[in-house]
Amino acid sequence: SKHLENILNNISSLSNLSSLVIILTDNIKNPNNFYRYIFRLPTLKYCTLSFGMFNTTELLPIATNEYGSIEHLIIKDSLSINYLYESRKKRKDICPIVLKYLKDLKHVSVKLKDINFDDIEILIKDLFRNVQLLYISTSRYKEYLDANRWERLILSSMPYLRIFDFQHIFSENSNENTEFPYKVQIKRFTSSFWFERQWFFTYQYTWNRGWNDIIFYSINQSSDKYFRQNSSISTIILILFEISPYPIGLFYLSH
């Protein structure tokens, strides 16, 4: 941590620094101060930060205008969903820097592992109000195949959503081929709500040696076209977080 501080102090003296990549293997006790160093570099345009596991023992107030000159930012980090919940309960001006920006994010990509629908639903309701493009990859819990629940969640908590790119993978032990119940459940993703938005889905099903394996995923999503049409957005933030009961998985964010 001391070596990192010395490096950052030296970097700050580089008046024409426009691109920076930092990969850390050691823990950082207070990543907020680290972010401050980076965001205050006056000419920095492109930045990639990759952390080891950090210990968030101290959460400092962060001003919302501390992006500086950065146009493209990629942060790779680990975060427990329980930590997100606990942080949201604290004073609004004393929270991780990441949570300061979540509510303004418009493009979000989430890969979840061992997170049930109830938990991610709380997060979406709290933070994803302005999201326009959502890529979400889930696993294990069959509740994610509840089309009606997704419809209610999108209508109530993501009213600006334009792209919904969804993938769900799960397996279960079974002594017989039981594809039919899943076909009935998946068919609910063909209602007028999904058709009107041109959000279409398909699935792959296999039964082998007592296991049912299902992959349900979006097709014909136009996220690339969406990004091209919205290329005027000046600041792109891509934050990769591991979100789970323990820190595994990925959480990508674009501003």
Q: Per-residue DSSP letters for the chain?
A: -HHHHHHHHHHTT-TT--EEEEE--S--S-HHHHHHHHHT-TT--EEEEE-------------TTTTTT-SEEEEEEE--HHHHHHHHHS-TTSS-HHHHHHTT--EEEEEBSS--HHHHHHHHHHH-TT-SEEEEEEES-GGGG-HHHHHHHHHHH-TT--EEEEEEEEEEE-SS--HHHHHHHHHGGGSHHHHHTT-EEEEEEEEETTEEEEEEEEES--HHHHHHHTTT---EEEEEEEBSSSS-SEEEEE-
Least confident of 8-22, 75-89, 178-192: 75-89
62-87: average pLDDT: 56
| The pLDDT of residue 64 | 41
Q: Does residue 226 register a pLDDT over 50?
A: no
The pLDDT confidence band at residue 241, using thresholds 50, 70 and 90, is very low
Torsion angle of C-alpha atoms 141, 146, 147, 150, degrees rounded to 10: -70
- How does strand 250-254 pair with strand 133-139? unpaired
What gap in Å lies between CA 10 and CA 131, rounded to an integer?
38
The pLDDT confidence band at residue 10, using thresholds 50, 70 and 90, is confident
Nearest to 20, CA basis, from 72, 55, 68, 60: 72
What gap in Å lies between CA 158 and CA 162, rounded to an integer?
9
Q: Is residue 238 within 8 Å of residue 255, measured between CB atoms?
A: no
pLDDT, greater one: 186 or 220: 186
Least confident of 91-95, 111-115, 122-126: 91-95
Note the pTM of the prediction, 2 decimals. Answer: 0.65
Largest CA distance in the chain: 67
Q: How many CB atoms neighbour CB 160 within 10 A?
A: 11
pLDDT, greater one: 163 or 68: 163
Query: pLDDT tens across 128-178, in order?
Result: 888 888 888 888 888 999 999 999 999 999 999 999 999 999 887 766 666
Q: Does residue 242 register a pLDDT over 50?
A: no
With the C-alpha atoms ordered 143, 138, 164, 128, is the resulting torsion angle positive or negative?
Answer: positive
What gap in Å lies between CA 133 and CA 135, rounded to an integer?
7
Q: Is residue 81 within 8 Å of residue 55, measured between CB atoms?
A: no
| The pLDDT of residue 3 | 74
